[in-house]
Amino acid sequence: MEAWLQLPNFHRNEIENGSMELALQLLEEFEWQPAIDLEKLSSKRGIDCCPSEICFSNELGKVLRIVPKTISRVTIVYEFNDILDSPPFERAQCLSIQFVKFSDVRKFATLHYNGEHQAIIDLLSPKL
């Protein structure tokens, strides 16, 4: 498992040993507002940037992205590829949910670390 902090300037800070606990601690302690503001300003000016986020990736190419949008809410994005024998991220599928409380992020991270792919999909899939 890999984990990292992604910044708007495309800089990536690896989290030691892909530790879920260190990543969640960083999620709580990092000053997100300046990064969110920089992303908005860059986007408005037409400057290439990426979202500030905490990312978790496993050996199968499944990526859980935690994207802070405000001081207390995040968007959760789950990227996966269930097509056998295709390279990771090729023809990837993506599900997301917005306005998740920081306190609920641990549930998604734990499911990802435990390889509970279907449980994440069930949580993110719209209920009909």
Long-range contacts at 94-98 (CB < 8 A, ≥ 24 apart): 95/120, 95/121, 95/124, 95/125, 96/124, 97/123, 97/124, 98/69, 98/73
pLDDT digits (tens, 9 = 90+) for 16-34: 998 999 999 999 899 999 9
Amino acid letter, residue 64: L
More confident residue, 91 or 7: 7
The whole-chain average pLDDT of the chain stands at 86
